[in-house]
Structure formats: C-alpha cells, structure tokens
Structure 1
C-alpha cells in the first residue's frame, strides 16, 4: 500500500517549508539539490527535515498539508517538538475584539 508523507523542512534562513509527497527520500533529494530552481527551498538551502507524518489516504495527507500551511510558526513548532497538546492553547483567539474577551471591552 502506498503511503503519503506531509513534511516540514527548516530552511537555512529559519523559515519553514511544508509539503506532501509519496516518496520522502526522492523529495528530500530534490529539495537538497535544487532540482527545481524556482522552488521556494532552492534559494534557502541547506534544508533539514524537522517533521513528517504518514498517511495512507492522499486526501487526508493533502488536507493536513493545507491545514499546516495555514498555521502560525508557533503551531508548526509545537508539532515539530511533538507537543500536540499545545495546539489547542495556540488556537485560542487572543484579540481584544474576540467574543471571548467581550466583557473586557
């Protein structure tokens, strides 16, 4: 059965790149060797694999990749450090205009 991997790379400039692949070894080689010169990571090498999660269903993998791409740096760093419980805390809206802060206005 084929597996799909959602991965996060830490780039030389300390930015993160999130992707999905069905062959993590090939994809890492492509990033490390700038096979696609227009790719985000080509100008930000070297890159380090800091996170990967495997899926059996490509749709689940794509959905998770899209979710992670929309996350803040702190949320990405929480899963990189395997601190999944911190995601809930980081998801709480702290804007003063949030409905949870209505009584503080």
Structure 2
C-alpha cells in the first residue's frame, strides 16, 4: 500500500501579524505558489497579505484527516493557533528552507 502525504500548514507574513491555514499534498510547491501570488497578482488571501513564511506544518497519511484538521484549525481563534505554532516552533522561525 502506497504512503500518501498530505500537509496541513500555517504561513504568516514577515511581521507575523497574519496567519493563513491551508492543506496540500505538495508543501514545497504550495509555498512557492503563495510567494509568487504575493509578488504578483495577489489573487488569494495569502497573496494579498504576503503570507508565505511557513511557521507550522503537520503530515497526514489520509486526505480526509488532513481536510478535517485544516477545517478544525481554521475554526480556532488566533491564540489557539499561536499555541499550536509555539508547540512545534516556539521561536516562530521561518521553516520554508526545511521543507523537503
């Protein structure tokens, strides 16, 4: 049985004022798309607010689990999202270069 990779992630802008939660099966490509959108036409929420700095991610094997988790996190207040980020990345380092 093939392993699948689905990622739930949180990106922010350079000043860390805005958070965007998303889900993808190719995290590196998605981060590049967010960056390109922010530098180009700004079609998406992440693009409009220059959110392409990765501060949190988690991997899921099943797409349904990833979708459910994304919806769960999107429904949270900011303080709860900050707690989640702090649990993995307390210094809020930008993790883009760490993605394989």
The higher-RCO structure (CA 8 Å, 6+ apart) is 2
* Count of aligned residue pairs for this structure pair: 83
**Aligned counterparts, 1:34-45, within 5 A:** 34=37, 37-45=42-50
Is residue 2 from structure 1 mapped to residue 4 from structure 2 by the alignment? yes
Which runs of at least 4 in structure 1 moved beyond 6 Å after TM superposition?
Answer: none
RMSD value over aligned CA atoms?
Answer: 1.8
Q: Whose radius of gyration is greater, 1 or 2?
A: 1
Deviations 1:31-69 (A, max 9, x none): 011077311011222531010000000000000000000
Maintained 8 Å contact 2:12/2:50: no
- Map of 2:77 onto structure 1: 72
Please give the TM-score of this superposition, normalised by the length of structure 2.
0.76
- Asked whether the 8 Å contact 1:11–1:47 carries over to 2, the reply is yes
Q: Could you tell me the TM-score, scaled by structure 1's length? A: 0.72
Are 1:18 and 2:4 matched, yes or no?
no
Partner of 1:97: none
* Unmatched 5+ stretches in structure 1: 84-105
Shift of 1:12: 4.1
